[in-house]
């Protein structure tokens, strides 16, 4: 049957379309994984991280990925829990939050944008939200 031979092609096209035009999923995931652990040392790094968060969210880079795939590719985010930003944007306590970048010398102090990832009942990413940071933290 011809129908069965077109299904893999159709699935591939859907996967490609999920990222939107001009968005490099693999490159964006690699950049995001690196940025999550990077120090935000100045306004240039901060703006790069902000743009990355926007590109990932608006470009649908994570859309359709399962939690385990996301965890393997960039690491597991923190549960939203009672995070005020998550609650304000109707994310569930089990959705994940990523702080992209940290203050120089303090990996526990977020210094870049925030990315929130929401999952549907099957564990697939079904939406994202990002909040940029406009002012770098002063040096310590």
Domain span at 97? 2-131
pTM higher than 0.75: yes
Indicate whether 137 belongs to any domain: no
Query: Does residue 83 lie within any of the structural domains?
Result: yes
d(CA 81, CA 94): 6
Burial of 9 (0-12, 13-18, 19+ CB in 10 A): exposed
* Domain presence at residue 110: yes
Q: What's 52's DSSP letter? A: H
The partner residues of 103 in beta bridges, in order of sequence, read 106
| Pair 28, 61: CB distance under 8 Å | yes
Q: Is residue 138 part of a domain?
A: no
The neighbour count for residue 66, using CB atoms within 10 Å, is 13
Residues paired with 98 in a beta bridge = 115
**64, exposed or middle or buried, with CB in 10 Å at 0-12, 13-18, 19+?**
middle
Asked if residue 116 is part of any domain, the answer here is yes
Domain membership flag for residue 136: no
Residue 99 domain-assigned? Answer: yes
Both tokens of 104, joined, read 């120089």
Say how many C-beta atoms besides its own lie within 10 A of residue 108's C-beta.
Answer: 7
| pLDDT, one tens digit for every residue, the chain (140 residues) | 343 333 333 333 334 344 555 679 999 999 999 999 999 999 999 999 999 999 999 999 999 999 999 999 999 999 999 999 999 999 999 999 999 999 999 999 999 999 999 999 999 999 999 999 987 666 65
Q: Is residue 140 part of a domain?
A: no
Instruction: Provide the domain count of the chain.
Output: 1
Phi and psi, residue 125, nearest 5°: -65, 125
């Amino acid at each position: 049957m011809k129908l069965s031979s077109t299904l893999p092609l159709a699935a591939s096209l859907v996967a490609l379309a999920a990222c939107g035009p001009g968005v490099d999923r693999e490159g964006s995931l690699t950049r995001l994984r690196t940025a999550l652990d990077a120090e935000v040392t100045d306004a240039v790094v901060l703006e790069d991280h902000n743009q990355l968060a926007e590109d990932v969210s608006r470009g649908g880079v994570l859309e359709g990925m399962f939690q385990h795939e996301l965890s393997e590719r960039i690491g597991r985010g923190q549960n939203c829990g009672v995070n005020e930003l998550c609650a304000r944007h109707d994310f569930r306590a089990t959705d994940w939050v990523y702080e992209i970048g940290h203050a120089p010398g303090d990996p526990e102090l977020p210094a870049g944008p925030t990315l929130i990832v929401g999952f549907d009942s099957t564990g697939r990413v079904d939406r994202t939200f990002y909040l940029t940071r406009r002012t770098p933290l002063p040096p310590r």
